[in-house]
C-alpha cells in the first residue's frame, strides 16, 4: 500500500519553496506538507497554510509568528504556529517527518539542515551553502545517521542522474574522467568589463533563464553561484577540484554532464524549471509529473558552449582557491559573499566590489581545520565581522 510522505519545507515562501509546493499539490496521494517555514512573510505563509493545512508553520521571527497565529485562528485553520531557530530544527527532525526540503537561503539554513541529517531524514538539498560551509562535517553526519541525501540544485541533480547507478565516489572504478558543470554565464556574460562598475541590483537580479531568489540571482551574475556549486559538487560526489570543469552554456538546457574514460558524455537536459529536479528527488526512484513542459528541441535549435572567463568573474577563481585551501576557507568565502551581496543589494557598494571584499576577508583569516558545527558557525561570524569592517573603510 502506498503511504503519503510527510514533507517539511524549510523556506516554503521562497522560489524553491513555491516550486516544491507546486509539485506536492500535483500529488496529494504521495505527499503531504507536514511543516512549512519562513523568515517573515506572514501573508504568503497564511495563504500557503490555508491551501496545504500543514501540522506546523514556523516563522523565524516571534512577532510574525504571533500575527500568523492570529490570522490562522480567524481563518479557522488548525496549523500550530511556532517561532525561532529551535523550532526550525524541531520540524526538520520530528519522527513523523519523512523528508525535508532544505530551501532556506544562505548560512541561515545550516542548523535546520543539520538537524534533518542528524535525525536520519531524507534530505532534499537546495541550500548549497550548508555543503560549502561544512561539507566534510555534513557528509559525515549524513553517513553516520543513515540519512539519505538527494541534490535539488539543477546541476547536481543532473550530475546525479548522469552518474552510474549507486555510484560510490570512486571515479577510477566508475570510469569517470570529469564532471562538466554547466553555467549560463548570467546577465553579464557579454557585457563590457568596464560597464560592470555601474550595474544596479535590478540588472543583476534579471537572470536570462531562471527565476530565483535575489541572493542566488546576484550570485549568478558574479558567477559565485557556480563557484559555490563547484564546492557543492566536490562534497556530493567526492570529486577533486581538477576533475570539475565549468562549461558556460548560455541556453541552460543541458543542466550538467559526466564525461567517461571511453569518450562518452552523459548529460541531463530539460527546460530551465526547478520543478524537474524537485520532482526527480521527491519521487525518487520513481519518475513523477512535475508540471514542466516537454523540451522542444526544434525551438532550442542550438546548444552553445564557452570557456569561463576568470577575469570577468573573479568570484569563480576565489571559489576554486577556497576549495583548494580547504578547511575553514569555503566557509569564509561563503560568509564574506553573503555580506557582499547584501551590501550590494542595499546599494552600499558597487557590483565590482563584491569579489574585492571577499578576497580581502579571505586574506585576513588564517586557514584552519573545522571539526564541529560550532567551529563552522564561529568562522561564519568572524568572516562577517571582517567583511563589515572592510565595508566601513569604503564609507
Interacting residues with ligand NAD (CB under 6 A)? 11-17, 38-39, 41, 60, 103-105, 108, 126-129, 153, 210, 212-213, 215-216, 274
| Closer CB to ligand NAD, 337 or 360, in the complex | 337
232 lies in the binding site for Mg ion (CB under 5 A): no
Q: Which does 105 bind (CB under 5 to 8 A by kind): Mg ion, ligand NAD, none?
A: ligand NAD
Instruction: Give helix 85-93 / helix 110-118 axis angle, nearest 10°.
Output: 30
Q: Which does 386 bind (CB under 5 to 8 A by kind): Mg ion, ligand NAD, none?
A: none
Q: Which does 104 bind (CB under 5 to 8 A by kind): Mg ion, ligand NAD, none?
A: ligand NAD
Please state whether beta strands 122-125 and 176-183 pair in parallel, antiparallel, or not at all (unpaired).
Answer: unpaired
Q: Minimum distance between the CB of residue 189 and ligand NAD, rounded to whole angstroms?
A: 18
Q: Which does 107 bind (CB under 5 to 8 A by kind): ligand NAD, Mg ion, none?
A: none
**Sheet strands (E) in the chain:** 5-10, 31-38, 56-59, 80-83, 99-102, 122-125, 148-151, 176-183, 244-248, 254-260, 265-269
Q: Minimum distance between the CB of residue 109 and ligand NAD, rounded to whole angstroms?
A: 6
What span, in angstroms and rounded, lies between the C-alpha atoms of 214 and 105?
Answer: 10
Q: Which does 39 bind (CB under 5 to 8 A by kind): Mg ion, ligand NAD, none?
A: ligand NAD
What span, in angstroms and rounded, lies between the C-alpha atoms of 155 and 277?
Answer: 9
Which range binds Mg ion by CB under 5 A, 146-154, 166-174, 192-200, 268-276? 146-154
Q: Minimum distance between the CB of residue 320 and ligand NAD, rounded to whole angstroms?
A: 18
| Closer CB to Mg ion, 89 or 153, in the complex | 153
Say whether 257 sits in a helix, a strand or coil.
Answer: strand
Contact of 104 with 112, CB cutoff 8 Å? yes
What span, in angstroms and rounded, lies between the C-alpha atoms of 165 and 294?
Answer: 25
| Closer CB to ligand NAD, 176 or 383, in the complex | 383
Contact of 353 with 344, CB cutoff 8 Å? yes
- 137 sits in the region (left: phi over 0; alpha: psi -120 to 50; else beta) called alpha
Q: Minimum distance between the CB of residue 138 and ligand NAD, rounded to whole angstroms?
A: 14
| Closer CB to ligand NAD, 81 or 176, in the complex | 81
Q: Minimum distance between the CB of residue 15 and ligand NAD, rounded to whole angstroms?
A: 4
| Closer CB to Mg ion, 127 or 154, in the complex | 154
What contacts 168, CB < 8 A, 6 or more positions away? 174
Q: Which does 278 bind (CB under 5 to 8 A by kind): ligand NAD, Mg ion, none?
A: none
Q: Minimum distance between the CB of residue 11 and Mg ion, rounded to whole angstroms?
A: 15
Question: Sign (positive/negative) of CA torsion 125, 131, 136, 141?
Answer: negative
Residue 373 has which C-alpha cell? 558545527
CA atoms within 13 A on the CB side of 321: 16
| Closer CB to ligand NAD, 38 or 134, in the complex | 38
Q: Minimum distance between the CB of residue 380 and ligand NAD, rounded to whole angstroms?
A: 13
Q: Which of 153, 232, 338, 380 binds Mg ion (CB under 5 A)?
A: 153
Q: Minimum distance between the CB of residue 355 and ligand NAD, rounded to whole angstroms?
A: 18
Q: Which does 121 bind (CB under 5 to 8 A by kind): ligand NAD, Mg ion, none?
A: none
Q: Which does 13 bind (CB under 5 to 8 A by kind): Mg ion, ligand NAD, none?
A: ligand NAD
Q: Minimum distance between the CB of residue 243 and ligand NAD, rounded to whole angstroms?
A: 22
> DSSP readout, 344-394?
HHTTSS-TTHHHHHHHHHHHHS------SHHHHHHHHHHHHHHHHHHHHHH
What span, in angstroms and rounded, lies between the C-alpha atoms of 224 and 14?
Answer: 20
How remote is the C-alpha of 97 from its chain's centroid? 21
CB-based closest residue to Mg ion: 153
The residue ranges that bind Mg ion (CB under 5 A) are 153-155
Amino acid at each position: 500500500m502506498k503511504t503519503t510522505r510527510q514533507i517539511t519545507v524549510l523556506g516554503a515562501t521562497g522560489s524553491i519553496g513555491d516550486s516544491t509546493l507546486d509539485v506536492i499539490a500535483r500529488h496529494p496521494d504521495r505527499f503531504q506538507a507536514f511543516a512549512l517555514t519562513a523568515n517573515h512573510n506572514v501573508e504568503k505563509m497564511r495563504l500557503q497554510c490555508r491551501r496545504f493545512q500543514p501540522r506546523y508553520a514556523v516563522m523565524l521571527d516571534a512577532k510574525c509568528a504571533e500575527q500568523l497565529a492570529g490570522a490562522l485562528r480567524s481563518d479557522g485553520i488548525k496549523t500550530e504556529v511556532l517561532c525561532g531557530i529551535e523550532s526550525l530544527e524541531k520540524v526538520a527532525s520530528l519522527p513523523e517527518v519523512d523528508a525535508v526540503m532544505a530551501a532556506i537561503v544562505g548560512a541561515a539554513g545550516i542548523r535546520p539542515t543539520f538537524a534533518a541529517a542528524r535525525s536520519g531524514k531524507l534530505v532534499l538539498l537546495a541550500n548549497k551553502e550548508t555543503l560549502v560551509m561544512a561539507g566534510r562535517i555534513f557528509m559525515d553526519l549524513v553517513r553516520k545517521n543513515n540519512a539519505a541525501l538527494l541534490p535539488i540544485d539543477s546541476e547536481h541533480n543532473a550530475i546525479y542522474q548522469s552518474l552510474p547507478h549507486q555510484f560510490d565516489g570512486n571515479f577510477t572504478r566508475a570510469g569517470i574522467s570529469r564532471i562538466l558543470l554547466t553555467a549560463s554565464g548570467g546577465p553579464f556574460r557579454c557585457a563590457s568589463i568596464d560597464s560592470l562598475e555601474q550595474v544596479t541590483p535590478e540588472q543583476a537580479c534579471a537572470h536570462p533563464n531562471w527565476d530565483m531568489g535575489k541572493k542566488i540571482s546576484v550570485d549568478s551574475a558574479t558567477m559565485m553561484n557556480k563557484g559555490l556549486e563547484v564546492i557543492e559538487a566536490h562534497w556530493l560526489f567526492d570529486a577533486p577540484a581538477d576533475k570539475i570543469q565549468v562549461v558556460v552554456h548560455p541556453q541552460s538546457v543541458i543542466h550538467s554532464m559526466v564525461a567517461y574514460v571511453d569518450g562518452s558524455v552523459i548529460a541531463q537536459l530539460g527546460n530551465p524549471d526547478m520543478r524537474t529536479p524537485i520532482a526527480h528527488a521527491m519521487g525518487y526512484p520513481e519518475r513523477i509529473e512535475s508540471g514542466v513542459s516537454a523540451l522542444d528541441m526544434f525551438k532550442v535549435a542550438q546548444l552553445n558552449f564557452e570557456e569561463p572567463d576568470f577575469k570577468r568573474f573573479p568570484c569563480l577563481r576565489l571559489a576554486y582557491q577556497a576549495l583548494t585551501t580547504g578547511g575553514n576557507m569555503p566557509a569564509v568565502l561563503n560568509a564574506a559573499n553573503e555580506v557582499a551581496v547584501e551590501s550590494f543589494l542595499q546599494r552600499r557598494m558597487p557590483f565590482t566590489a563584491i569579489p574585492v571584499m571577499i578576497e580581502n576577508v579571505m586574506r585576513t583569516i588564517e586557514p584552519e581545520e573545522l571539526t564541529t558545527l560550532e567551529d563552522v558557525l564561529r568562522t561564519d561570524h568572524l568572516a562577517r565581522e571582517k567583511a563589515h569592517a572592510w565595508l566601513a573603510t569604503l564609507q
